[in-house]
Amino acid sequence: MPVTDDVRARAASGIEEMRAVAELFGAVWGRNADGVPIGSEMLQSIDHADGLVTILEDPATGLLLGAAALGRGAGTTAYSYIAATAPGHEQRGLGMLLKLQQRDWCLARGITSMRWTFDPLVGRNGRFNLTKLGATASRYELEFYGVMSDQLNGNDPADRLLAEWNLIERPDGRAEPPAPAPEATIVRGPDGSPAYAVTAGARWIRVPADIVALRRTDPGQSAAWRLAVRSWFTAAFADGFVGVGVTPHGWYYMKPQEESP
């Protein structure tokens, strides 16, 4: 279901709304030893420090449909800490609405770029960030959060890609990236199928269709995917490539830095 006029985006205000946002994040990620992913007190502090906590709601019922937290970075940059849509509302285009609301807020304040991290193994997030939004990924953060224990990350070392979004040049995303070239040198992944493709001018890295489910059903294979994808990304970045898209079949497409975006 697409986003309609029945969804309202606005800034959250007050500790009660921050508590509702924190509970939404807890419903998405689950609780760990530290509690919810980000607490209401921290959300209140982000807002107080001239950041932005966005909420999406049904104006008729007040139902909370999504939320995101954004803070200021150095110079003309912003940092997006966390964003999620409510369970059961994932296919409504709400993630795009959250990001566009953040973009409008940034541009009104002279902020022209936004950064955040995401798990490269979650291909749908990579596709949203790089293809749909038009962000790029040029840095791999090893065990950025250590080993996490929530219901989405399991006990997986929390490696992350750094997304960087040019808010002026990339409001509408990119064209679909190409599939691996026929002449590419192919490396097989932990599932036995092609997963890393190399040519002189491009790299492709495939991730599993659903790493969250795989962590539950086959922890050994999901761990093997983490190590394989880690080695491929770090090698591609070392060779001067940057991630600029993800295909519908879960292949990250990487071009030489000087050719991007």
Omega prior to 261 cis, within 30 of 0:
yes
191: pLDDT strictly greater than 60? yes
> pLDDT tens for residues 42-88?
999 999 999 999 999 998 888 999 999 999 999 999 999 999 999 88
1, part of any domain? no
User: Distance between alpha carbon 190 and the CA centroid of its chain, in Å?
Assistant: 23
152, part of any domain? yes
Average pLDDT, the chain: 91
The rounded distance, in Å, linking the Cα atoms of 64 and 27 is 12
Specify the pLDDT at position 171.
73
My answer on whether 34 and 63 are in the same domain is yes
My answer on whether 162 and 193 are in the same domain is no
The rounded distance, in Å, linking the Cα atoms of 134 and 171 is 7
80, part of any domain? yes
Specify the pLDDT at position 247.
97
Q: Using the CB atoms, write b or e for 133-156: b if 16+ within 10 Å.
A: bbbbbbbbeeeeeeebebeebbeb
Specify the pLDDT at position 228.
97
3-class DSSP state of 188: strand
Is the pTM here over 0.85, yes or no? yes
3-class DSSP state of 81: strand
Specify the pLDDT at position 144.
84
Our count of domains for the chain comes to 2
Angle at 15 between CA 12 and CA 16, to 5 degrees: 85
Q: Which of 153, 154, 155, 173 is nearest to 163 (CA)?
A: 173
Give the CATH number for residue 93. 3.40.630.30
